[in-house]
């Protein structure tokens, strides 16, 4: 019997993805473990391996298709001895779970239809007698697009399920059309973030660049963070001269590693969470989750946005280990090869724009974390030491804090413990 290849869920939160490429073509022999396709999620591009052997009989979803729902059929594998005729009876609709029972209506149902309900037309595919129609998502989509009333269609799939060929047959025979919705009474679904209305005729020449899955998720998550998380910001200046001298000395000892300023920042951020455990927390509605380990998410810029691979238990790792792990994770991020466990679950984030010459900035919290540290460039500034004017290399860092979790005094305590580690970094080696 032919085997369906389903769109996999590559992370706990994934609901859809882009089928980036097919590594096999129709007619190719497939062995278990072969890479057959690449799926682009909101975070990375990941390979899909075959779990069965046979021949790729049909590609249902072509390469480059965006917004493919999890558990949708993307291809079909034929067993040994089967030919293309075996595909005829295969339903290529998405695998669906049984419909959940509707929640109880808090208000009693009226004994007779109201004027509003009597005037409202039935939606495509919803019978007026209240009976539920069993149809594949693909069949429903085609019916909705063509205005076909599924209540008048007989299903030939398992248990009378309406599938694609039933809809196509009904359309070919001039099946009943669903009543058109009243444009005055039908309410369009509300968009969570409506696009601005732009008069293109007033704009200079431009090109429309479709948003990738990653860019859509970034827009959604950061909009929600800025709108729903009560941010406040604390900034402190740290002198870097001792850190730069120590970094130069450590890097001169071997060619096997190259420690960056950011590696010092990651370790200092993690050590400070150990010193100020109240800051290593996140809001969870009915509770505040306080963590016993510092897992530091580090923002990495990639072509279509940014991603935050995580250095696990960074406070227990040395600078060389952090440096090597960060380089490996950053390379995988830029290649789109990060696994979900490598970018999910951090307890705090670090975002460094110092390499771009940015003096200071305020970052948006990466939900559900409680804070994010924004790191600016080190630059020579005039400072006063022992009552005399001097010049020092100074770096500004700004802590963005979720006020539901961390109050101002606690945030200040965190920066007060972070600053000495940066200014006297030998303490990080002890």
User: What is the spatial distance between Cα 273 and Cα 254, in angstroms, rounded to a whole number?
Assistant: 30
CA 377 to chain centre: 29
Whether residue 34 contacts residue 50, with contact meaning beta carbons closer than 8 Å, is answered with yes
Report CA torsion sign: 258, 259, 260, 266: positive
Active site residues: 403
CA pair distance 164, 328, nearest whole angstrom: 46
Distance of alpha carbon 282 from alpha carbon 345, whole angstroms: 11
Phi-psi region of 27 (alpha: psi -120 to 50; beta: other; left: phi over 0): left
Length of the chain: 430
Helix (H, G, I), strand (E, B) or coil at 210: coil
**DSSP of 283-333, one letter per residue?**
E-SSSEEE-SS--EEE-EEETTEEE--EETTGGGS-HHHHHHHHHHHHHHH
For residue 25, which phi and psi values (nearest 5 degrees)? -120, 165
> CB of 259 within 8 A of CB of 251?
yes
Residue 253 is given by DSSP the state: T
Residue found under tokens 């460094």: 352
DSSP secondary structure code for residue 48 in this structure: E
Give the β-pairing of 35-40 and 45-49.
antiparallel
**Which of 44, 43, 45, 49 minimizes the C-alpha distance to 20?**
45
> CB atoms < 10 A from the CB of 333, how many?
23
If one counts every other C-beta atom within 10 angstroms of the C-beta of residue 39, the result is: 21
């Amino acid at each position: 019997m032919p085997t369906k290849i389903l769109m996999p869920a590559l992370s706990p939160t994934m609901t859809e993805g882009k089928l980036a490429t097919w590594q096999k073509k129709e007619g190719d022999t497939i062995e278990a473990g072969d890479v057959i396709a690449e799926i682009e999620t909101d975070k990375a591009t990941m390979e899909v391996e075959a779990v069965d052997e046979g021949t790729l009989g049909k590609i249902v979803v072509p390469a480059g298709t965006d917004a493919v729902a999890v558990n949708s059929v993307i291809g079909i594998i034929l067993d040994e001895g089967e030919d293309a005729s075996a595909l005829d009876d295969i339903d290529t609709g998405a695998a669906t779970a049984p419909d959940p029972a509707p929640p109880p209506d808090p208000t009693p149902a009226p004994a007779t239809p109201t004027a509003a309900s009597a005037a409202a037309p039935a939606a495509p595919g919803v019978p007026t007698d209240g009976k539920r129609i069993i149809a594949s998502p693909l069949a429903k989509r085609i019916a909705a697009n063509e205005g076909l009333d599924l209540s008048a269609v007989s299903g030939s799939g398992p248990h009378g399920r309406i599938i694609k060929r039933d809809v196509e047959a009904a359309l070919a025979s001039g099946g009943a059309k669903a009543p058109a919705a009243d444009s005055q009474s039908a309410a369009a679904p509300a968009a969570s973030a409506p696009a601005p209305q732009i008069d293109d005729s007033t704009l200079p020449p431009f090109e429309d660049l479709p948003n990738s899955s990653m860019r859509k998720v970034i827009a959604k998550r950061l909009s929600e963070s800025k709108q729903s998380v009560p941010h406040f910001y604390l900034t402190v200046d740290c002198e870097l001269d001792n850190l730069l001298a120590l970094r130069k000395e450590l890097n001169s000892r071997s060619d096997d590693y190259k420690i960056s300023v950011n590696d010092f920042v990651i370790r200092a951020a993690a050590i400070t969470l150990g010193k100020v455990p109240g800051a290593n927390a996140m809001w969870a509605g009915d509770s505040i989750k306080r963590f016993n380990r510092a897992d530091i998410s580090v923002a990495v810029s990639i072509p279509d946005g940014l991603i935050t691979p995580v250095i696990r238990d960074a406070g227990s790792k040395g600078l060389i280990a952090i440096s090597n792990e960060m380089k490996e994770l950053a390379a995988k991020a830029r290649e789109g090869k990060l696994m979900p466990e490598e970018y999910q679950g951090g307890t705090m984030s670090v975002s460094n724009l110092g390499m771009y010459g940015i003096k200071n900035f305020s970052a948006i919290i990466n939900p559900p974390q409680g804070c994010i540290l924004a790191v600016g460039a080190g630059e020579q500034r005039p400072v006063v030491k022992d009552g005399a004017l001097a010049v020092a290399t100074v770096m500004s860092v700004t802590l963005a804090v979720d006020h539901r979790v961390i109050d101002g005094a606690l945030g200040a305590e965190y920066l007060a413990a972070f600053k000495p580690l940066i200014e006297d970094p030998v303490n990080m080696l002890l």
